[in-house]
Chains A and B, each alone.
Chain A
Amino acid sequence: MNRVMVLTSLLAATGASARAQTVLLGVHGALGDYREVSPNLRFRGTGIGGSLALHVGRFSAEGAVTRMSYDPRDKTGGDSSFESSQIDARLGIDVASGLTAEFGLLRRTVDPELSAQEMGAARIGVRYSKLIGPGATVGLRGNYLAGAKFTGEGSAGLAFELGLLVSVGPQNGRYRLTADYGFQRIDRKVGGAKVPIEQSLVRLGVAVGF
């Protein structure tokens, strides 16, 4: 949580000194699907979270925290429920109309410990947003998750994140309804053994601009 506060403070400080900026502060509810190792280890959950986004000219910074409660889909398998906290941080720079290059971090922790894999990774990728009407955009995101680290050790040579973004609201940006879908595939290997991870997470929220 300390990292969240640091990130939030950093974004706020940057925003205070910048001019011609847009700040969006939002809350969201989330639905998630988490799978690990084999088809038998599957969890489904719901959660809530908050987000802060700052746009200054061509530059943008986004941070989101989502707290999820996952329950095993197969209640008879002896798996236990767990909670996860996921932090997503992204810095973006507009490189063309609607196209943004993104760099950031991903951090997911679980409670109780070892009930699922905790992980962290850097992310690098692009986001493409398209205005489809007054104040409405849809977008796609593709990130490569680099340097993934896990509590259970191992590494992931191939780790992707795919996203679908929807944002709609009045043109003055006073408030916005958002939907943010993210699908992660992490081909984790430990000592040559495949222990993959997949997560689908959709966040539906509202953000206030000022």
Chain B
Amino acid sequence: MRRTGLSLLLTLIPAALTAQEIVQNATLRQAIQAYEALDFPRVIVQGRAALRQRLTASERARAEELLGFAFSATNQPDSAIAAFKEAILLDPNRQLDPRRVSPRITGYFNAALGQVLVVRQLKVDTARFVSGTPGSGAAIRFTVTSPARVRTRAISGNNSLLIDSSIVAGTLNLRWNGTLANGDPVPAGNWTIVVDAIGTGQNTYSASQEVQVTAGAVDTVPHLTALPGYTELPETEIPPQSGRPLGIALLYSGFAGAGALALNNGDLGTSTGREIGVAAGAALITGFVMMLKKPAPRPALGNIQYNRLLREQLTRRNNDITQQNAQLRRQVQLTVVPVARGTR
């Protein structure tokens, strides 16, 4: 039964081993082979023997992890946790895949994490942003395994900028806005994001991530030629055909004829009316022709007013854009790209 349980345990952790890099040390290789053969006592012996030899940091971390697995499999939790602690200190970013590793081993591993102070998974996202713009900046993420005062700084040459200082345990998300203390954009170049953690027992841990900062001009906003969703309306409209032209001609001719009749001097007799007749005839013919003709376009006052307001709004918007662009031209767009990663 015990053998069956161990087999089940092992089936849950193959990726933890298969994902490792090529091992140079022969003793460590023998320990791995023993683990694959489920010979846990020999894993412990070979693992301890390998640790007494000259190993790379990665090999050493792997040997400790192997011991942690073997102690877990043989029900030695204290030893397992101790081995995992060493593995974590050697490689703080080491993780177990909870889908492939048994909950018991994961539990021991998490217990080991809680007993050491390390800054894990420090990551700075690639970002492009306008320096000093509220809410913008490069995202910084990391996890502190134990409660500690954590100071996060950006360092380049003589510049050391405090990004955040807080007491935290767990994952912390920060944003670096890329400004100096006086509000100016940071100079372009290589910067190092340094996270210093000071634990309760005065134990400390530091992690860093180097980033490259480049500076560029901020894109300006193009001026508008039209307001989106709004189009100008025709400023003239053709009125419906009507008898109005003839009516007006008739009215005017009537005024002229009546006026001439009224002003006629009785002492001189009456006029034949030939001249007013000719003029009135010309007016009436003109009115009649115009009545049959397509009316002339007339100003559409509502549309003119609408277009005027639209143009005023467009002008106002473009003035705003001009001011906005003037401000943008004074700003600097920073691009932050992580270039290397390391811990110390």
Q: Given A31-B274, A181-B275, A181-B278, do A196 and B268 touch, yes or no (CB 8 Å)?
A: yes
Nearest chain-B residue to A178 (Cβ)?
Answer: B282
Whether B293 lies near A183 (C-beta < 8 A) is no
Q: How many Å from the CB of B246 to the closest CB on chain A?
A: 8
In the bound complex, CA of A72 to CA of B248 (Å): 36
Using a CB-CB cutoff of 8 Å, which residues 171-194 of chain A contact chain B?
A: 171, 179-181, 183, 185, 187, 194
Whether A138 lies near B296 (C-beta < 8 A) is no
B267 within 8 A of A: yes
Whether A164 lies near B296 (C-beta < 8 A) is no
Using a CB-CB cutoff of 8 Å, which residues 244-273 of chain B contact chain A?
A: 244-245, 248-249, 252-253, 255-256, 259-260, 263-265, 267-269, 271-272
**Which residue in B259, B286, B289 is a CB contact (below 8 Å) of A183?**
B259
Whether A136 lies near B268 (C-beta < 8 A) is no
Which residues of chain B come closer than 8 Å to A140, judged between CB atoms? 252, 255-256
A200 within 8 A of B: yes
Whether B265 lies near A187 (C-beta < 8 A) is yes
Q: Given A162-B260, A200-B276, do A138 and B283 touch, yes or no (CB 8 Å)?
A: yes
Whether A162 lies near B259 (C-beta < 8 A) is yes
A33 within 8 A of B: yes
Nearest chain-B residue to A160 (Cβ)?
Answer: B263
Nearest chain-A residue to B292 (Cβ)?
Answer: A133
Does more than half of chain B's interface fall in helix, strand or loop, or is it mixed?
A: helix
B295 within 8 A of A: yes
Which residues of chain A come closer than 8 Å to B267, judged between CB atoms? 38-39, 194, 196
Interface size on A, residues (CB 8 A): 41
Using a CB-CB cutoff of 8 Å, which residues 143-190 of chain B contact chain A?
A: none
Whether B283 lies near A166 (C-beta < 8 A) is yes
Whether A163 lies near B265 (C-beta < 8 A) is no
In the bound complex, CA of A122 to CA of B182 (Å): 82
Q: Which of B276, B279, B295 has the most chain A CB atoms inside 10 A of its CB? A: B279
Which residues of chain A come closer than 8 Å to B104, judged between CB atoms? none
Whether B286 lies near A136 (C-beta < 8 A) is yes
Whether A136 lies near B260 (C-beta < 8 A) is no
B132 within 8 A of A: no
Interface size on B, residues (CB 8 A): 35
Which residues of chain A come closer than 8 Å to B294, judged between CB atoms? 134
In the bound complex, CA of A68 to CA of B295 (Å): 38
Q: Given A32-B275, A140-B252, A162-B260, do A132 and B290 touch, yes or no (CB 8 Å)?
A: yes
Whether B296 lies near A133 (C-beta < 8 A) is yes
Which residues of chain B come closer than 8 Å to A179, judged between CB atoms? 278-279, 282-283
Which residues of chain B come closer than 8 Å to A44, judged between CB atoms? 272, 274
B287 within 8 A of A: yes
Q: How many Å from the CB of B247 to the closest CB on chain A?
A: 9
Which residues of chain B come closer than 8 Å to A132, judged between CB atoms? 244-245, 248-249, 286-287, 290
Which residues of chain B come closer than 8 Å to A38, judged between CB atoms? 267-268
Which residues of chain A come closer than 8 Å to B248, judged between CB atoms? 130, 132, 138
B87 within 8 A of A: no
Q: How many Å from the CB of A200 to the closest CB on chain B?
A: 4
In the bound complex, CA of A157 to CA of B48 (Å): 139
Which residues of chain B come closer than 8 Å to A131, judged between CB atoms? 296
Q: Which 5 pairs from chain A and chain B are nearest by CB?
A: A133-B290, A39-B269, A181-B279, A164-B256, A179-B282
- 10 additional contacts, CB 8 Å, given A35-B268, A180-B279? A36-B268, A39-B267, A136-B287, A140-B252, A162-B259, A164-B280, A166-B279, A179-B279, A194-B267, A200-B260
12 contacts between A and B (CB under 8 A): A33-B274, A130-B248, A132-B290, A133-B289, A134-B294, A138-B283, A166-B283, A168-B290, A181-B276, A183-B260, A185-B264, A200-B260
